[in-house]
Structure 1
Amino acid sequence: MTASDRRRATITDVARRAGTSKGTVSMVLNDRPGVAPATRARVVAAVQDLGFRPSGAARALSLSRADAIGLVLARVPATLRSDSFYAPFVAGLEQGVGHADCAVLLRFVADEAAEAAAYRALAEGRRVDGVVLADLRCDDPRVDLLADLGLPTVTLNRPDVPSSAPAVCHDDVGAVEQVVAHLAALGHRRTAYVGGPLRYLHARRRRDAWRRATRDHGLAPGVEVSADFTAEGGARATHELLDLRPAQRPTAVVYGNDTMAVAGTVVAQHRGLVLPRDLSVVGFDDGELSAYVRPSLTTVRTDPFAWGEQAARTLVDLVHLGPDHAAVPTDVHLDAPRLVVRDSTAPPAAHPIEETR
């Protein structure tokens, strides 16, 4: 191994060489009890062989507390103005840390490329005791990064890469199946799906669940549009769907969140459609206003407030107990999301009216 390779060694490399977890490596590096002598010897040997040197920030984080947890979002802050998930989710985080006299540090970064620098700055500055990892991506590199930085982490749902961090989960797949079953029972045979960017793990899982459910219910393969969870994205996707030829146009559209669903409702109404007779609409999240729009929105209730509160409590427990404690939190499974049927879904009309554009 060259000197350059030695400088690049990470805690992940040490864990792999020693045949143990990154949490165990962290315990050995910080001279904590609870590691078997043979395991400790393997870790020490791997550290020496790889020339690994733990960062001062990672070691300091194990010895002192900032009394704050972090949430880093690779989003433009303005896009959250009408978001039906993150406002109640952040409120839940605040509720979850209240009992521990702890603060929530929210950071926005320009793009995903800037996230690594943001996490490193939080760790090196000892500004947070741990982070909640949201918007999980496929093959998410942040899982290993946060372990290498020594930052205690709680993920929203379980990632598709190895992770020793506890996760707070809910069943998106079951909720999507409920939606498709509802539309099929109403008599819809042509449905469409407007989801989020497929780099997000939850967007891909929901899309895949929608595909399976439509196939299982004998529906024709529907049109899929990838949007961005914003009202503008939902409106643009709806125009795209309504511009299809009548034989291809869906009689029902499932949206990845309520914001896009409400925007889609407005677009369809402006184009002269009568909802839900000419188009059924389903959202996701059950935002506060979803019961008050007209028609009131059929949607999936996910309770982001409870998700944020439980994620914060799990992270605070993880920080306070430490990796060498026998009661380190495990995965938490929230109540399954459920379909809330309101006025925006109905059997499709035999002869939909023509648009008035």
Structure 2
Amino acid sequence: MSTQDGRAQAPKRATITDVARVAGVSRGAVSKVIRDAYGVSPAMRARVEEAIERLAYRPRTAARALRGSGFTIGLALPVFGNDFFSQIVLGVNETLAGTGYRFILAPDTSESSSSHTLDALADREVDGIIAVSPMVSTDWLENLARYVPVVVIGRHDMPAGYDTVNGDDAAGARLVMNHLLEQGHRRIVHLTGDYVQVAARPADPHSIRSVVFREMMLSAGLVPRQVTTAADPAAIVACVRDLLAGDEPPTAIFAAHDFLAIHALRVVATSEPRVAIAGYDGVDIASHPMISLTTVDQRGVEIGRTAATLLLERIKGRTTPARHVSTPELLIRRSTAPDGATG
């Protein structure tokens, strides 16, 4: 192709609109095929793939280049009541203030719905997505990131096409275990959610904490004991009551996150002998003097700010992957003090 004055002109790059026109489908349908999303018929997939090949279409990571920006970001969150997620939302909101961007909160209704939630955000043609602990494969996320900028919080992936933001979960778990072991505890239970599958999800923060717990117990010559529970207050309370009623009740509980720890405190507050409780996340209520929970501060607001900053960079065109890991801090309080005094 050449201009009127004879100079060579680069061929026009095909857009998702071109693919949709040639395939005779909507742009949303093309998006679903590109991302291998749920609900695409074989016939539709064949038409779209044929159009993609015919036009030599390549999805752009910066989806804004394919359409006018809606100045909207999708924030996908798990639904259970963990105040750590509220800290993340606050950090995202602080960073987006004054940028012209707004965000849509999209809670998952179950583990199996993560892909549907992210698909729904992409189909709304948001400018970017921040996903907190999505229960989908790395390949699935890489495919999504071909079409829309993505930042993932709470997964220690090694991505090529998206960014990750995490606390140093291995270091944080070591802080907790060193603290409990130095206090002389030998019957330590790791209380975690029933979603933990160490072999299946080695990059999951809770899996990493579980591995560190096991390794440190074995290194100390102790028997590691991990107990899982649903993330429901009644289930947590029942689980902890069963633990304390057993033949060898724990002297300390390392809870995978503060939501678990705070509900465990409801049970151990009146137990004899006293049971130490340590949590993880550093939610605001943990510092309340009536709770005084020892916990690992992940700096959730900072994580939210960082994720939003990285996503804005992605939207502007950065394509190299970024991995941010924040340094955790152990906040020692009354819940693990030997005599119950404020530590």
State whether TM-score is above 0.5: yes
What are the Cα deviations for residues 158-185 of structure 1, in whole angstroms up to 9, with x where unaligned? 5446442121222011111111111111
Evaluate the alpha carbon distance shift between residue 102 and residue 280 of structure 1 in structure 2; reply closer, same or farther with a 3 A threshold.
same
Q: How does 1:79-118 map to 2 (within 5 A)?
A: 79-80=80-81, 83-118=82-117
Conservation of the 8 A alpha-carbon contact between 2:252 and 2:276: yes
Conservation of the 8 A alpha-carbon contact between 2:62 and 2:316: no
Take 1:93 and 1:62, find their aligned partners in 2: how far apart are those partners? 25
Take 2:148 and 2:242, find their aligned partners in 1: how far apart are those partners? 43
Corresponding residue of 1:35: none
Aligned partner of 1:244: which letter? Answer: G
Aligned partner of 1:97: which letter? Answer: L
Evaluate the alpha carbon distance shift between residue 59 and residue 319 of structure 1 in structure 2; reply closer, same or farther with a 3 A threshold.
closer
Q: Secondary structure at the match of 2:176?
A: helix
RMSD of aligned Cα (Å) = 3.2
Structure 1: which 5+ residue stretches go unaligned?
Answer: 1-6, 13-46, 350-357
Corresponding residue of 2:325: 333
Conservation of the 8 A alpha-carbon contact between 1:252 and 1:279: yes
Conservation of the 8 A alpha-carbon contact between 1:282 and 1:344: yes
Take 1:286 and 1:158, find their aligned partners in 2: how far apart are those partners? 18
Percent of residue pairs identical: 22
Shift in Å, 1:146: 1.4
1:132 and 2:130 are equivalent in the alignment? yes
1:69 and 2:73 are equivalent in the alignment? yes
Corresponding residue of 2:46: none
Q: Secondary structure at the match of 1:100?
A: coil
Evaluate the alpha carbon distance shift between residue 214 and residue 99 of structure 1 in structure 2; reply closer, same or farther with a 3 A threshold.
farther
Shift in Å, 1:237: 2.4
Q: How does 1:346-357 map to 2 (within 5 A)?
A: 346-347=337-338
Normalised by the length of structure 2, the TM-score is 0.74
Q: How does 1:148-187 map to 2 (within 5 A)?
A: 148=146, 150-160=147-157, 162-187=159-184
Take 2:173 and 2:60, find their aligned partners in 1: how far apart are those partners? 45
What are the Cα deviations for residues 25-57 of structure 1, in whole angstroms up to 9, with x where unaligned? xxxxxxxxxxxxxxxxxxxxxx749x9766799
Corresponding residue of 1:189: 186
Take 2:142 and 2:97, find their aligned partners in 1: how far apart are those partners? 29
Take 2:61 and 2:224, find their aligned partners in 1: how far apart are those partners? 50
Q: Secondary structure at the match of 2:74?
A: strand
Corresponding residue of 1:38: none
Take 1:93 and 1:60, find their aligned partners in 2: how far apart are those partners? 20
Conservation of the 8 A alpha-carbon contact between 1:96 and 1:311: no
Shift in Å, 1:207: 0.7
Q: Secondary structure at the match of 2:191?
A: strand
- Residue 212 of structure 1: which of 204, 210, 215 is its match? 215
Structure 2: which 5+ residue stretches go unaligned?
Answer: 1-29, 37-51
1:249 and 2:249 are equivalent in the alignment? yes
Shift in Å, 1:282: 0.4
Take 1:57 and 1:330, find their aligned partners in 2: how far apart are those partners? 14
Take 1:295 and 1:134, find their aligned partners in 2: how far apart are those partners? 27
Evaluate the alpha carbon distance shift between residue 54 and residue 110 of structure 1 in structure 2; reply closer, same or farther with a 3 A threshold.
farther
